[in-house]
Amino acid sequence: MELNINNKTYSVDVEPTASLLTVLRDYLDLTGAKYGCGEGACGACTVLVDGQPARSCITPISSLIHKRITTIEGLTSDGKLHPVQQAFIDNDAFQCAYCASGMVMTAVALLERYSSPTDEQIRNFMNGNICRCGTYPRIVRAIKSVKTT
Amino acid sequence: MRNREEPIAPEQYELQGPPLHRFSINRREFFRYLGGGIAITFVVGQAWSDDGADVATANDKSIHAWIHIGENNMVTVYTGKVEVGQNIRTSLAQIVAEELTVPIENIEMVMGDTALTPYDMGTFGSRSIPNMGPQLRKAAASARELLRKMAAKQLKVDVSDIKLSVGRVYAGGNDWGKPLYFSDIVKGEKLIAPIDESVPVKPAAEWKVCGKSVPKVNGANFVTGKHQYVSDMKLPDMMYGKVLRPPSFGATLKHVDLTRARAISGVVAVHDGNFVGVCAPDPITAERALTVVQAQWEEKPQPSHAEIFDYLVKNAKPPRGNDGGGDIAGGLTRAKVKTDKTYYIDYIAHAPLEPRAALAKWEDSKLTVWTGTQRPFGVQEELSDAFRIPKESVRVIMPDTGSGYGGKHTGDAALEAARLAREAERPVKVVWTREEEFTWAYFRPAGVIKVKAGADASGKLTAWEFHNYNSGGSAIQTQYDVGEKLIQYHPVDSPLRQGSYRGLAGTANIFARESAMDDLASDLGIDPLEFRMKNLSNERLRNVLSACAEAYGWSKRGKAKGQGHGIGCGIEKGGYVATMAEVIVNDDGRVTVKRAVTAFECGAIINPVHLENQVLGCVVQGLGGALYEWIDFRDGKILNPMFSRYRVPRFADM
């Protein structure tokens, strides 16, 4: 089966019911998306599918034919950090940072939808992402600091 | 070493002592690994030998960390402490950078590797900055003075003419000439020097690196997904391991049939005592192999959530501590108002976002395990015990891990991965599922707290009786002045596996204590802040309460229907903290915390933003325990072992 990940075509020989998360992490060595719950309830595994945030742990690869998948590894271009990544660093919006990949990916999709989101829009959109360290207010601040063009 | 002023009430997993002996370190081996240069150790001198094992031994307590200044101009700090998100990799580096006057980029922190770093009991109890910090500060200052002496000798000037700045060495008073790098000074040296207790450290007022919000070291690696947590790691020929879990706690394996699992190509299956596990070259096959293992277990009766609180009180062991032993009955007769209440505390889960994970590899009879743990040296001992091999044959490495909150003191996944790897004769990685993490890790202890207290008409406490069953002794002492008091912690053999937690038992004890204070204030008709102040003489905590009240606007707080305001404060682990919260009770009974203000004072601050993150994290995680989180269990089974059934604080709660 062929998957389009970060504008690259990957051929994988895995059963079609396999989750995208397993395929990314264990077969393609793209370990930026994290396992946190396996039921789509924590957001650590978030990737973008055609620009929309998707929980890769509950997304079977069979549903991804002809879809465009973006992972955290595909966010930097020419070694330059995405403005959301930079904002997370500038605002120290992480502690253990295990949630950071999923947070960044969801925030990227959020800013696609709302160019200058309100606190409430941020809280609603990001609510599926858990930061067990409790860095939420700082993450909100980081997202608000991103200048979208 | 512990803070002398404030003894820590030990909890389970905090009672591990260091080994009785730690033997000498071979100087040649040391520099073979490090390269030349100078090393500053926390040692009185005799731990270092030129010849190895046949020389003097050192008291374990003498070495806690060392600093190496290399011929490549890099400063390497070796400490057994670990990074779990509290950002000590950054703040400890700041301390060394400050004393050595080197840029923080020139500092590498080697942490939590049993082969490279000195023994450390573990990263818990808020001890890294208060204990490891000053030791590293002294070591870095000693290194600085040693460098100055060496530079003076090399440049044939007086030591007082040598200045260090931004990683360079200048000679000659005000007329700073061409600088030397540290590497020029240490070239060709293989010098080990002990800490010089007499060297001055920089006073906080002169700090240039400490006290600044230096961003998280390696921050970019974390937002790009490059950082390799243990669960991300992969070795050549690595297999994926899965462990068969019993149907309930304490179940005994009666019979197991591994035939069908072993029939799957590439699968290795192990049965050893109560342990049953499988591994396969890919995770999907490993999971499938686990599902075809047939096992029979014998389960045992045990208390469930419905009767847990009765159980804890009925099965209490003799109490620890008897603070005051006061005349409670006498104190209560002088009281105008009294409270007599019982508080119930549920088991809750740490739920670190990265579940337990370990990668194990055997080479001959030597074992290397990468695992996320707060006690790499403790896990080394667990592995040494479990496999009956010498500790020296076990190396535990702890890459920066996906949090712990006191929940990763054990080496469960490490043992499992190592057992499977020995059988498979290949490296094996075990990553726990969320359900396994919720079920087979350990919990913040459940507890029952009984408080009986009274205050007289003037608002002074007259009696304070406080019994904590099982939840723990941390922060159990009251900060309030009271003549007649009796404060006891009653340990219980917990039906569920339990251990340390962020803030330890502080959350439970402070909640009960402050709630009782509120009841008394309410019955007396006194403002709860004023009531606390009347009974509080600790100046630092009074200041913190005042600062909190001012920031919160306590005196102007609203009194609408359903609107309430709470206060909690306490002193623990050298921190003075007060929080005020505005709570709304909605018409349907739902409770919403609208805002919380915390004032926190812990002395000089190394990294303000990272400290703020820690305090913020405590408030957010505390909300979880106070409002949503509880572990439900029946007959030895956890009934809500997933995030969809175990509610943790989320963005919408902010």
Locate B25 and state its tokens: 């370190």
- Out of A96, A124, A126, closest to residue B402 by CB: A96
Other beta carbons within 10 angstroms of residue A78's beta carbon come to 4
CA distance B134 to B139: 9
For chain A, report the end-to-end CA distance as a whole number of angstroms: 37
Please indicate if any CB of chain A lies within 8 Å of the CB of B461: no
Which of B236, B214, B218 lies closest to B227 in space, CA to CA?
B218
Side-chain-side CA neighbours of B546 within 13 Å: the count stands at 9
Stated pTM of the model: 0.93
CA distance B420 to B416: 6
Please indicate if any CB of chain B lies within 8 Å of the CB of A135: yes
Q: How far does the CA of residue A129 sit from the closest CA of chain B (Å)?
A: 7
Amino acid A147: pLDDT: 83
CA distance A11 to B634: 46
Amino acid B55: pLDDT: 28
Buried b (16+ CB within 10 A) or exposed e, A7-29: eeebebebeeebbbbbbbbbbbe
CB-CB under 8 Å, A92 with B610: yes
Chain B residues with beta carbon closer than 8 angstroms to that of A39 = 434, 642-644
With contact defined as beta carbons under 8 Å apart, do B83 and B400 qualify?
Answer: yes
pLDDT digits (tens, 9 = 90+) for B208-262: 999 999 999 999 999 999 999 999 999 999 999 999 999 999 999 999 999 999 9
Q: How far does the CA of residue B84 sit from the closest CA of chain A (Å)?
A: 6
B422-439 average pLDDT score: 98
Sign of the Cα torsion B555, B557, B560, B566 reads negative
The answer for residues whose C-beta is within 8 angstroms of residue B4's C-beta and 6 or more apart is: none
Amino acid B27: pLDDT: 61
Please indicate if any CB of chain B lies within 8 Å of the CB of A14: yes
Task: Name the pairing type of β-strands B75-79 and B107-111.
Answer: parallel
Amino acid B478: pLDDT: 95
CB-CB under 8 Å, A123 with B231: no
Q: How far does the CA of residue A24 sit from the closest CA of chain B (Å)?
A: 11
Please indicate if any CB of chain A lies within 8 Å of the CB of B608: no
- Out of A29, A71, A124, closest to residue B234 by CB: A29
Which of B123, B633, B640, B17 lies closest to B408 in space, CA to CA?
B123
Report whether pLDDT(B41) > 80: no
Chain A residues with beta carbon closer than 8 angstroms to that of B647 = none
DSSP letters, B366-435, are EEEEEE--S-HHHHHHHHHHHHT--GGGEEEE--S-S--TT---S-HHHHHHHHHHHHHTS-EEEE--HH
- Out of A92, A101, A137, closest to residue B216 by CB: A92
CB-CB under 8 Å, B84 with A96: yes
CA distance B96 to B208: 12
CA distance B210 to B91: 8
pLDDT tens per residue across all 149 residues of chain A: 999 999 999 999 999 999 999 999 999 999 999 999 999 999 999 999 999 999 999 999 999 999 999 999 999 988 899 999 999 999 999 999 999 999 999 999 999 999 999 999 999 999 999 999 999 999 999 999 998 75
Report whether pLDDT(B119) > 50: yes
DSSP letters, B568-625, are EEEEETTEEEEEEEEEEE-TTS-EEEEEEEEEEE-SS-S-HHHHHHHHHHHHHHHHII
Amino acid B192: pLDDT: 76
Q: How far does the CA of residue A70 sit from the closest CA of chain B (Å)?
A: 13
Q: How far does the CA of residue A66 sit from the closest CA of chain B (Å)?
A: 24
Q: A105: nearest CA in chain B?
A: B223
Q: B399: nearest CA in chain A?
A: A96
DSSP letters, B305-359, are GGGHHHHHHHTPPSPEEEES---HHHHHHT-SEEEEEEEEE--EE---SS--EEE
pLDDT digits (tens, 9 = 90+) for B125-182: 888 898 889 889 988 999 899 899 999 998 888 999 888 888 888 887 555 667 888 8
Reported ipTM exceeds the 0.95 cut: yes
Q: Which of A36-40, A72-76, B269-273, B318-322 has the lowest mean pLDDT?
A: B318-322
Maximum CA extent, chain B: 83
Q: How far does the CA of residue B138 sit from the closest CA of chain A (Å)?
A: 27
- Out of B220, B643, B652, closest to residue A127 by CB: B652
Chain A residues with beta carbon closer than 8 angstroms to that of B434 = 36-39, 42
With contact defined as beta carbons under 8 Å apart, do B110 and B93 qualify?
Answer: no
CB-CB under 8 Å, A25 with B232: yes
For an interface test with A, give the residue of B86, B223, B359, B616 to mutate (most A CBs within 10 A): B223
